[in-house]
A and B are shown apart, each in its own frame.
Chain A
């Protein structure tokens, strides 16, 4: 590790440091979970805020719910190209993917694959998902400590991904690894060097290229690879574009639901009154799932580039400027959500949150995510009085993936 990437000490005084020195993207704020106080001050005093310099260059932060909605649904003025996270794409290693394309190309590629996670198809998946959740939960040790992230959250989301790709089941943890490598780098500790990261992603491409060839020779089936290999808008993609779209689908289906599976357990532990509500009324689970997704906001931000000068919140965003929509902040905005800092499983209008985004890029897998979380909680409630968090959680040191690497728990039987 080089000097530059050693953790810096953060002077944590969110109410004293001048607003012009605010840089919410600093990793230390995220690993130590200090960002909420920063966001609160931004929403209050500078809801459209310009950070003139950061590890990721200059950028605007949009932190209020209504402003985020305005930017997110206006794809004409705010482009998703060439990337949708705060970090700029590497020029010599571009990974085009449809989430980072504007209409009409975005629409053509998305339509190729979205049928497999559309609600009509989910009906067919429900019994498979329930069977797997039952197996995973039944194999857990009761009364002794284990890591919920690894044994439940990662295992279930990885199994789901393997199904969606029709990926060799015994190799499924490769998908977890590629997801981590795609969203992390040497700075997050997931790999030693950038070269190692690229090598691993090229292994991913090589593995999936074999699957592509195999699926191309067979007729069209309902898995992502087959749909891409046969789709009019995708069958002639370059290798970079194939890899980019694979990463999109892997990360989209992996980091997100995984961290909501962990975050929900944590939130219920921090709010024992809500856990009691759940025990008394399992019918609240669908509503609770939306509240968990709001509470966790597993992807903390999305990024856009202004296509023209644009007035927002009394500020002028200049053409070409980088604009970060902080979903995590918007989901705590009291202007849009009543008592936003409280986790309330029977909250009214719980579906009205920003975690899936809005506009043409709205999460394609949102119904599948909700289905997986609903089934998980239905099956947990049939088996356990409590999933008790018994130690400190470890957080992903990222300002994009808002989640956990470890959460020690003990199960208490009914």
Chain B
């Protein structure tokens, strides 16, 4: 199974084995990674699964589509590499993916 590392704002790292086909958000929830709320349950409608994708991985995870873009755009703490993790699907290609978690979900 692909490994994904989530790094909390305070530096704490969580490496999890993620199932192929689930979202990066769901892999965090399934493995009790703190810092992702996912209030809408993966519908791209709340922006509480915000992560920042490590630079080397940005190309592989792709860029936000229109719906995600409009939700991200409303977040004052948005960065250039911000994504909603419910919109990134885990694949074998993403083995080793590293994402940073924001200090707060908005």
Contacts and interface: CB of A to CB of B under 8 A. Distances in A.
Given A352-B40, A367-B104, A114 B45 contact: no
Nearest to A114: B76
Given A119-B103, A358-B46, A114 B74 contact: yes
B99 to A, nearest CB: 19
Interface in A90-116: 103, 107, 110-111, 114-115
Nearest to B41: A352
Given A114-B76, A118-B76, A119-B106, A358 B45 contact: yes
Nearest to B104: A119
Interface string A349-372: 101110010111010000100000
A358 B77 CA distance: 19
A107 B106 contact: no
B105 A107 contact: no
A351 B45 CA distance: 14
Given A69-B43, A120-B103, A360 B74 contact: yes
A362 B103 contact: no
A72 interface: yes
B84 to A, nearest CB: 12
Given A118-B77, A119-B103, A119-B106, A360 B70 contact: yes
Given A114-B76, A351-B37, A359 B45 contact: yes
A34 to B, nearest CB: 30
B17 interface: no
B17 to A, nearest CB: 23
B30 interface: no
User: From DSSP, what is the main secondary structure of chain B's interface residues?
Assistant: loop
Contacts of A69: 40, 43, 45
B44 interface: yes
A370 to B, nearest CB: 11
A351 B39 contact: yes
A73 interface: yes
Interface string B40-63: 110111111000000000000000
A360 B68 CA distance: 10
Nearest to B105: A119
Contacts of B22: none
Given A103-B70, A111-B74, A115-B76, A120 B45 contact: no
Interface in A284-341: none
B73 A107 contact: yes
B71 interface: yes
Contact of A73 (B45, B103, B104): B45
Contact of A118 (B39, B67, B106): B106
A360 B71 contact: yes
Interface of B: 37-41, 43-48, 67, 70-71, 73-74, 76-77, 103-106
Given A111-B76, A119-B106, 19 more contacts: A69-B40, A73-B40, A107-B74, A110-B74, A111-B74, A114-B74, A114-B76, A115-B76, A118-B76, A118-B77, A119-B103, A353-B39, A358-B40, A358-B46, A360-B70, A360-B74, A362-B45, A362-B46, A367-B104
15 contacts: A69-B40, A73-B44, A73-B45, A103-B70, A107-B74, A114-B74, A119-B104, A120-B76, A120-B104, A349-B41, A351-B37, A351-B39, A356-B46, A358-B46, A360-B70
Shortest Cβ-Cβ A-B pairs, 8 listed: A119-B104, A358-B45, A73-B45, A351-B39, A118-B76, A115-B76, A359-B45, A358-B40
